[in-house]
Amino acid sequence: MNFRLYPHPTDSICTPFVYVRERNAYSRYFFVGSSLNLISITNKVDSSYIFIVGGDEKTIIGERRPNREMILDYLLHCESVSKSFLDYVKNTFVIPSFPLSKEEAFVKTIIRQIINAKQAKKMFSNFVKEFGYKKDGLYSFPNLEQLERVSIYDFRKFGLGFKAERMWSGIRILKTMDKRELTQINGIGSWSKNILEVEAHKNYSLYPFGDKSGEKIKNICGIDLIKIARKSNKFAGDLYVYAASYMEFIR
């Protein structure tokens, strides 16, 4: 059984995961107070709780995962599913990444307003390298205080164009909000609202399945997420995680 995260991490960006080569393990660094902590992921696929702190095996986060058995049963009875996607699900255990912080979710959503998901992943990584902090060769997302020091000019120079002012003004009201209130920010329409909810909470049942990625999944994987969502948004979200992971895998 292969073990794969979605979205698949880069090897240097510390958000939401980073690949630590010498340990051959996926990990994330995050701050609690002023202390830098390391979270590693176990490959115990039968456990609901897969995240541990350092080497002490203490479980700290339980992450909801797609119901792979239900997905397999559906695909085995789906005449239109592609064989390669079905084989991928048979041999791969996919786990969604951490929910993002409110700062990460907001920045990623604004970037997605400009470009598609594939380009946004690269631009988001570049954003972290440009404005974030670096430790031992790893980059991590800037905290709110760091983001507030970035000017509209710097955001525009980075490549945000006419969205630079929206990014700048949105960041300045984030400190007064929790993640549930982010959709109230000016410039967050219905599509962006769904993307923001997905990024902030990793609730893929809220994904806008009719967008371009949903169409690509239909053409390549052979599953119609819009049709499935009419019966169950939750199941459509689970299928999306596996299908989107497969799309990353074959690129």
The parent domain of residue 33 ranges over 7-63
Token pair, residue 157, equals 């120079």
Q: Strand (E) positions, 85-125? A: 92-96
- Do 36 and 113 share a domain, yes or no? no
- Tens place of pLDDT per residue across the chain (251 aa): 676 767 765 544 444 444 333 444 444 544 333 344 444 444 443 333 333 334 443 333 444 578 889 999 999 999 999 999 999 999 988 877 666 778 888 898 899 888 877 788 778 878 888 888 776 666 677 888 889 999 999 999 999 999 999 899 889 888 787 766 777 777 777 778 887 777 777 778 888 888 888 999 999 999 999 999 999 999 999 999 999 999 989 98
Cα separation, 104 vs 246, in Å, equals: 24
Flag whether 78 is in a domain: no
At residue 25, the pLDDT reads 42
Cα separation, 27 vs 22, in Å, equals: 12
Task: Work out the burial of residue 145: count CB atoms within 10 Å of its CB; fewer than 13 is exposed, 13-18 middle, 19 or more buried.
Answer: exposed
* Residue 236 contacts residue 224 (beta carbons within 8 Å): no
- The last residue of one of the domains, among 201, 217, 236, is 201
Cα separation, 68 vs 74, in Å, equals: 10
Flag whether 97 is in a domain: no
User: DSSP letter at 13?
Assistant: B
User: DSSP letter at 157?
Assistant: I
At residue 99, the pLDDT reads 67
Flag whether 73 is in a domain: no
- CATH code, 183: 1.10.340.30
At residue 198, the pLDDT reads 79
